[in-house]
A and B are shown apart, each in its own frame.
Chain A
């Protein structure tokens, strides 16, 4: 079974700082997804990464994929309070496999 691990599980960061969330997966997958979930809400799609070396950016978030290392990163630049949420990565085999999630809190 494909396993997806994220770290850290919890992240508290100050506004204006940078940080990276890591997503490791155990076997080959052809695509990797990042989602955001606000408390009590559903999942919102952030990025879809389809190939080795893919990089996508939206606002203060940038995601990258290294298929050889089976690693994706979600980099946060100059964090703001609105980014506080739980972030999930997911990979596809014959189904979606989600990571454990990273709960991000941005404090003033």
Chain B
């Protein structure tokens, strides 16, 4: 069974641009969560989607948004990029909400210049 996939692995953008990151969950998984990982702030929860609805949102500005499609694939968008948005963005999927185990994808390294 294929794992959580995030492509491409690296992305370089400049300040002010916007970026869309994509995540394909494990087949059959309906819950997708996004996380930001930086050396200074560690791992921080961005949002969780289940059945195409955002169920939880972390403490991030409105520039960060996301959505989930009917096939459970998810995208997150960051508008008006700032230097501080440079991070590893991780996507995780689970069978359903509250499912004990989340499976993480390889992550996408975003570099903002």
Query: Is B a genuine binding partner of A?
Result: yes
The residue in chain B whose Cβ has the minimal distance to the Cβ of A1 is B59
B34, chain A: closest CB distance, angstroms = 11
The residue in chain B whose Cβ has the minimal distance to the Cβ of A50 is B100
Give the total of B residues in contact with A, Cβ under 8 Å: 20
- Does B101 contact A48, Cβ atoms closer than 8 Å? yes
User: A45 at the A/B interface (Cβ < 8 Å)?
Assistant: yes
The residue in chain B whose Cβ has the minimal distance to the Cβ of A30 is B98
Bound: A42/B34 CA distance, A: 13
- Does B101 contact A42, Cβ atoms closer than 8 Å? no
Residues of A that sit less than 8 Å from B by CB: 1, 31, 33, 35, 41-45, 48, 50, 88, 90, 94-101
Bound: A100/B40 CA distance, A: 10
A24, chain B: closest CB distance, angstroms = 15
Bound: A44/B90 CA distance, A: 12
The residue in chain A whose Cβ has the minimal distance to the Cβ of B43 is A98
A37, chain B: closest CB distance, angstroms = 9
- Does A43 contact B104, Cβ atoms closer than 8 Å? yes
Q: Which 4 A-B pairs have the closest CB atoms?
A: A98-B43, A43-B104, A42-B104, A95-B45
